[in-house]
Chain A
Amino acid sequence: MGKVFVIVEQKNGALRKATYEVLGAGRQFADQLGAEFAAVIAGQNVGGLVDEVASYGPDKIFVADDEKLANYTTGAYSDVIGKILLKEQPDYVLLSHTAVGKDLAPRLAQKLEAGLASDCTAAVVEAGELVLTKPIYAGKAFATVKSGGGTMLATFRPNALGSFTPAGSKNPEVVQVPVEIDPEALRVLIREIVEKATGRVELTEAEIIISGGRGMKGPENFAMLEEIADILGAAVGASRAAVDSGWREHSDQVGQTGKTVSPILYIAVGISGAIQHLAGMGSSKVIVAINKAPEANIFKVADFGIVGDLFQVLPVLKEELQKVVGK
């Protein structure tokens, strides 16, 4: 019987949103493959997460609980999780393509001498194996990837798999894994973790994103986007032009040399729609564009466009959304 493993991601004792997707998908793939489904939770004081993870129906849950795992570090996490995987030899290991997932997966893959398809946006089970689809060239094309024979890892872009209702607990066997970390793996020290206090959802995980470009004319005008973001529970993004002008941080940039996002709703404000930007947000489910230039590229991909002066449109939009959302 094959094995599908999901590496659960938690932060400060709470599951990351993206993890639910991978857990939901993992159960589904395991059923289709006729495989056993297991989840791995690593961290400190993570026992409280077992029930929640169990609700997604894994047959087995491995728990590695240790103070050395309090915060994510590449060395400690890859050492502990790597040992579990080396012993279990799963067929598939699934992670989220988050900051942690994309850091951890390559090291695990190399420990297992395994293949890895990263940043996948879709996967199906065909003829008894998992066929993964991942964007390349920032979504200007897609590659279909399969295992070359042995274990295969995959990381999934948040929001890409869709939401899953928990399958219900199967009263999984919970295996407490003894944590013995190779001292070599503990060489990197965390000096400090500076949380960004925007109070808003992380760009790559957001279901709604409102982004501003050159048309915003200056950093001060992004406040208008932030107000709308707060009404919608959205994240605020930016085009490269806005970032290069120093109006927004690099971490806010959406596009080929920034973040690739696939929210349910993407609102582009004052963004002309350079090919690099379209590449970064083209997989959004619904795209709205507000731009004063009717010939702007962004209108070619937008599901709904308003040709108009954003400085006139945004205040009205804020008011209308407030009415609808009722905040």
Chain B
Amino acid sequence: MNIVVLIKQTFDTEAKIQLTGDGKVSDQGVNLIINPYDEFAVEEAIRIKEAKGGEVTIVSMGGDKAQEAIRQALAMGADKAVLISDPALAEVDHYVAAKVLAKALEGMEYDLILTGWVAIDDQSAQVPGRLAEILGLPQANVVTKLELEDGKAVCHREGDGAVEVLEVPLPAVITAQKGLNEPRYPSLKGIMQAKKKELKKVTLQDLGLSAEEAKAKIVGYQLPEARQAGKVVEGEPADTVRQLVEFLTKEAKVI
């Protein structure tokens, strides 16, 4: 079972967001991590490999810094990696990203493409679906349980207020949701070995592509207005609760 795992390096969830002078999101002093949902995908792929054999290939798009995320996935137990890195990819939309990834996957042998259902930075949740469409593959999105049977994956997909149990023929694109597994830490030995694993860097030109126009354009970023702290009361519950209920019914009028 050969598995491709798509990962993206994102800001740490603890990162405070600030804008640069020209209105872009600043990455100054921000800790970078593997997108947590992609980390579930990496873990799942390694577990499948450990159970059934095969090879896990990490594919990522990003700058040089993304190598750190890739090394972490390799240290966890993935076998090799491809980093698509090109200045022209600095500000692409998901349409272009999916096309580039699809091209990078050309010629790779895989039975399964795993990735996180959403990236916590742009929280768009677009690339997996778009990629599946380009590759003509079935998909199972937002999956909390994955079992492999002969030539197919049985997935528990999280719907709104329901869980759908899907049978997906392979190869397919499957996206991970929290709950799928508990990702391991890379072991110390894994970290030491990761350096020796293959990490291939490719540019757009290597993929035979050229820069493409985005279909969706981000025209600006804003920070939310800081919420003002409201009234805080302390004392006997009978009294504080009465004040709260009064606030909810008379002032805020939400009940």
Contact = CB atoms under 8 A, between A and B. Distances in A.
B97 to A, nearest CB: 11
Interface stretch (A28-36, A43-51, A254-262): A254-262
B249 A324 contact: yes
B17 A192 contact: no
Contacts of B179: 249-251
Max chain B C-beta neighbours (<10 A), residue from A105, A150, A189, A195: A189
Interface residues of B, number: 85
Interface in A8-58: 16
B15 interface: yes
A88 interface: no
Nearest to B154: A191
Interface of B: 11, 13-17, 19, 25, 36-37, 93-95, 98, 120-130, 132-134, 136, 138-142, 144, 154, 158-169, 177-179, 213-224, 227, 229-235, 237-238, 240-245, 247-249, 252, 254-255
Given A137-B15, A303-B252, A306-B232, 18 more contacts: A103-B129, A105-B129, A106-B126, A107-B129, A107-B130, A110-B133, A115-B214, A116-B216, A118-B126, A143-B218, A144-B218, A146-B216, A148-B213, A188-B168, A253-B178, A286-B248, A294-B232, A317-B241
Contact of A141 (B142, B223, B247): B223
B188 to A, nearest CB: 25
A contacts with B: majority SS: mixed
A313 B37 CA distance: 37
A285 B165 contact: no
Contacts of B243: 304
Interface in A254-296: 256-258, 260, 264-265, 275-276, 279, 282-283, 285-288, 294
A140 B13 CA distance: 10
Interface of A: 16, 71-72, 74-75, 78, 98-100, 102-103, 105-107, 109-111, 113-119, 131, 133-150, 152, 184, 187-196, 198, 202, 204-205, 208, 232, 249-251, 253, 256-258, 260, 264-265, 275-276, 279, 282-283, 285-288, 294, 299-309, 312-313, 315-317, 320-321, 324-325
Contact of B138 (A74, A276, A283): A74
A136 B161 contact: no
